[in-house]
Structure 1
């Protein structure tokens, strides 16, 4: 079994409150879950209204499949016009890795 994850650090556009931040981040998380059948959540910078951390994880039997899903999720987030992708961290492990 292969386990892969992404951690996005994003800068939000014209956002002036935590309520406006949620209105931008929630649809991104929902779209990631719906389109790629992954686990996704806001994972960082909860107290900052213009920054957000978004985490994504995927599990699969084949390494290539997990990599394809993570690549597609990264392209989706990078293509959003309402945010600026500052950085992406990625991990990929096999379940029997020590």
Structure 2
């Protein structure tokens, strides 16, 4: 069994000054990620205007499948025109960890 996590650091548009506006950008991204059948949530930068961190976790039988799913999640977030992807942090854990 392998688990993988990824955290996306996002720069939101200038009009996301309120919590309501920020959520209007974050919520559709999290919903799209969940359709890939991963766990996804806003996990950081909760009190920062114009920034968001979205975390994703996946469990699979092989490391290759975990990498494939995380790659598809990264492509999904990177192609969103309304946000800028600033950084991506990945971790992969196996049964021996």
Q: TM-score range by the shorter chain?
A: over 0.9
Equivalent-residue separation in structure 2 for 1:95 and 1:69 (angstroms) = 18
Partner of 1:16: 17
The CA deviation string for residues 42-95 of structure 1, in whole angstroms up to 9 with x for no partner, is 000001120000000000001111100000000110110000000000000102
Q: Is the contact made by 1:3 and 1:57 (CA closer than 8 Å) also made in structure 2?
A: yes
Partner of 2:86: 86
Equivalent-residue separation in structure 1 for 2:95 and 2:29 (angstroms) = 28
TM-score with structure 1 setting the length: 0.94
Alignment partner of 1:46: what SS? coil
Give the aligned CA root-mean-square deviation in angstroms: 0.8
Partner of 1:3: 3
Paired residues, what number? 96
After superposing on structure 2, the runs of 4+ consecutive aligned residues of structure 1 that deviate more than 2 Å are: none
Structure 2: where are the runs of 5+ without partners? none
